[in-house]
Every structure is written in structure tokens, then in C-alpha cells.
């Protein structure tokens, strides 16, 4: 479970959105999350 919802941080030249999130389990920020994984996290957080 992420304590903060991932945020789109930037868009690169190819139009790919880069996401970052804070993982409360490891205390690390995660960058460049695949969008498919982002969608599954967002869906889980809205359940």
C-alpha cells in the first residue's frame, strides 16, 4: 500500500508519462513506473 498516490512527474520526448511514488514499506521513492502498473495501483486505491 502506498501512502501517497503516484504522481505524473514529467513527460519525455516520446510522450511517455513518468510517474513517481513513495513506497511506505521500503521508504524509497519509485520513479519511472510503467503506466500499466500505475493503472492497477490506482484501481486498487479506489476500491
Q: Per-residue confidence of the chain (47 residues) as pLDDT tens digits?
A: 455 566 666 666 776 666 667 666 777 776 666 777 777 877 877 66
| 22: its cell numbers | 513513495
Is the full-model pTM beyond 0.75?
no
Amino acid at each position: 500500500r502506498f501512502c501517497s498516490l503516484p504522481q505524473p512527474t514529467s513527460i519525455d520526448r516520446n510522450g511517455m508519462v513518468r510517474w513517481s511514488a513513495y513506497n511506505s514499506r521500503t521508504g524509497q521513492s519509485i520513479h519511472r513506473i510503467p503506466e500499466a502498473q500505475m493503472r492497477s495501483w490506482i484501481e486498487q486505491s479506489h476500491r
